[in-house]
Amino acid sequence: MDAVEKLSREDFKELRDYIYEESGLHFSDAKLYFLENRISKRLKEHDMTTYRQYLDFVKRPINKKEHFKLFDSVTTNETSFYRNPPQIDAFAKKVLPKVVETAKARGQRTLRIWSAACSSGEEPYTLAMILRENRELLQGMNATILATDISHEIMDKARIGLYAPYTMRNLSPKLTNSYFSKEGREFKIKDSVKELVKVSYFNLVDYASYRRFRNMDIILCRNVLIYFDLKVKREIIKGFWDCLNRESFLLIGHSESLHNINKDFKMQHYSRALGYLKP
């Protein structure tokens, strides 16, 4: 097979625009070599030598599977259990009790949490473990965690629930022993946690489909907004606002902010963490 040609500036711009239109992911001019490196593997998979060939191929409706493979290639999925412990502690000790109290007061029987951009499952399974640890608080209520991502490949890993020790570095021995079984050098999430989590595909720029997630009590979309431009951020946050019940919460990444994006959410200050309340 002939070597893959370098990604030209013209083809880079067209690829970047296509990815943006389809996913909302924004890549600056400085990301040419990043996209070249990530997508070159897809060209080799199809015995292609130019990015123009690949672009024409992936745009064809008949090649929808490759459309998803492209997203798998260019998304970053760095995550871990209990990522950013101060924010997870705020979820467990402040946000969850408040939301449960409000939900019970209005006669709700099911608590609904959405882990948007769930990656390989560490975040939704962390939340599920916290729910299991707070059975008394949730007494009389059911709970469900909807976990979504744009990458089919990474969602398959979430469904399997098998993890290397490094991604579990923030977990206490108690949680590890209670909710995982050892499989060789890796750890398998137990069914008692898995049964709370429903993993499914969702593209955050599919704005018309946000209605699938109405009546949420908590939405987490952490360390994701940084990949979108201001226009897309505003649309996504508007979608989250419409999905949340009153007196419910949105949690975004610790380095992210809704400044200049949305003025309706009310910022909540916790110990070394922030959250946003829909009043």
Q: How far apart are CA 44 and CA 214, in angstroms?
A: 42
According to the model, what pLDDT value does residue 124 have? Answer: 98
Angle of CA points 193, 93, 196, to nearest 5° = 15
266 to 1, 94, 120, 185, 258: CA distances (angstroms): 57, 15, 30, 44, 10
According to the model, what pLDDT value does residue 269 have? Answer: 95
Matching residue, tokens 């003025």: 263
The conformation of residue 72, written as its DSSP 8-state character, comes to H
41 plus 146 within the same structural domain: no
pLDDT tens, residue order, the chain (279 aa): 568 889 999 999 999 999 999 999 989 999 999 999 999 999 899 999 999 999 999 999 999 889 889 988 988 777 899 999 999 999 999 999 999 999 999 999 999 999 999 999 999 999 999 999 999 999 999 999 999 999 999 999 999 999 999 999 999 999 999 999 999 999 999 999 999 999 999 999 999 999 999 999 999 999 999 999 999 999 999 999 999 999 999 999 988 999 999 999 999 999 899 999 999
56 plus 107 within the same structural domain: no
Domain count for the chain: 2
The answer to whether the CB of 57 falls within 8 A of the CB of 65 is no
Residue 273 inside a domain? The answer is: yes
Q: For residue 234, what are its two tokens?
A: 């505003």
35 plus 129 within the same structural domain: no
Q: How far apart are CA 151 and CA 209, in angstroms?
A: 17
Strand order through the sheet with 266-270:
197-201, 142-149, 110-116, 216-221, 244-252, 273-278, 266-270
DSSP per-residue letters across 108-150: --EEEEEEES-TTTHHHHHHHHHHHHTTTTTTT-EEEEEEEES
According to the model, what pLDDT value does residue 51 have? Answer: 93
CATH code: domain of residue 190: 3.40.50.150
The answer to whether the CB of 55 falls within 8 A of the CB of 14 is yes
Domain that holds residue 113: 85-278
Q: Rounded to the nearest 10 degrees, what angle do helices 51-59 and 32-45 cross at?
A: 70
Matching residue, tokens 């997630």: 213
Residue type, 86: P
Residue 215 inside a domain? The answer is: yes
196 plus 58 within the same structural domain: no
Q: How far apart are CA 79 and CA 125, in angstroms?
A: 12
Q: How far apart are CA 225 and CA 219, in angstroms?
A: 13
Residue 166: CB atoms within 10 Å: 7
